[in-house]
Amino acid sequence: MGEVWLTIGVLAVATATIRASGPVLLGGRDLPAVVRGVIGLIAPALLAALVVVQTLSVPEGGAIDLDARILGVAAAGGALVLGASTLPVVALAAVVTALVRALA
C-alpha cells in the first residue's frame, strides 16, 4: 500500500508542476514572432497525434492495435466530412465500434 500512496503523491506533485511549467515560464510576456509561429502550430500537431494514438495504440503503449475502434473513428470522420455535429459524431464512433465488436 506504501507503493500506491508514493505513486499518487509523486504523480500529483509532478502533474501539477508540469501543468504549471509553460504558463509560469512563458506566460505574461511578449514572445518573438518566430516563437509565436511555432507555438501556434502545437495544437494541430498534438491533437492529430492524440487521435492517432488513441485510435491505433494498445492502451499500455508499444504496439499498434488494429481493432474495431478504427472503424468507429473512421465512421466519425466520415460523418464530420458530411457536416454532422459533435454529439452525433461521437455517439456514432461508440456505436460503430460496439457493433463491430459484437459481430466479430
Partner 1 sequence: MYLEGGDTEARGQFRSGVRIGLPYAVASLLLAISFGVLAEPVMGPVAPIVMSALLFAGSAQFAATAVLAGGGGAAAAIVAGILLNLRYVPMGIALAPSLRGGPLRRAAIGQTMIDFSWAAASRGGGRFDPAFMMGATTPAYPCWVGGTALGVLAGDLIGDPAALGLDALFPAFFLCLLVEGELRPGVPALVAGLGSLIALVLIPFTPAGVPVIAASAAALVGLWRSD
Residue list 21-40, contact with partner 1 (CB under 8 A): 21-28, 30-31, 34, 36-40
CB of 99 to partner 1, least distance (A): 8
CB of 58 to partner 1, least distance (A): 9
Contact assessment for residue 72 and residue 93, using Cβ atoms and an 8 Å cutoff: yes
The CA-based angle 5-6-8, given to 5 degrees, is 60
Contact assessment for residue 96 and residue 70, using Cβ atoms and an 8 Å cutoff: no
Among 54, 45, 57, 59, smallest CA distance to 76 is for 54
Q: Which residues contact 3 (CB under 8 A, 6 or more apart)?
A: none
| 86 scored as a contact of partner 1 (CB under 8 A) | yes
CB of 57 to partner 1, least distance (A): 5
Q: Hey, which residues between 41 and 80 contact partner 1 (CB under 8 A)?
A: 41-57, 59-64, 68-69, 72-73, 76-77, 80
CB of 79 to partner 1, least distance (A): 9
Number of residues lying near partner 1 (CB under 8 A): 78
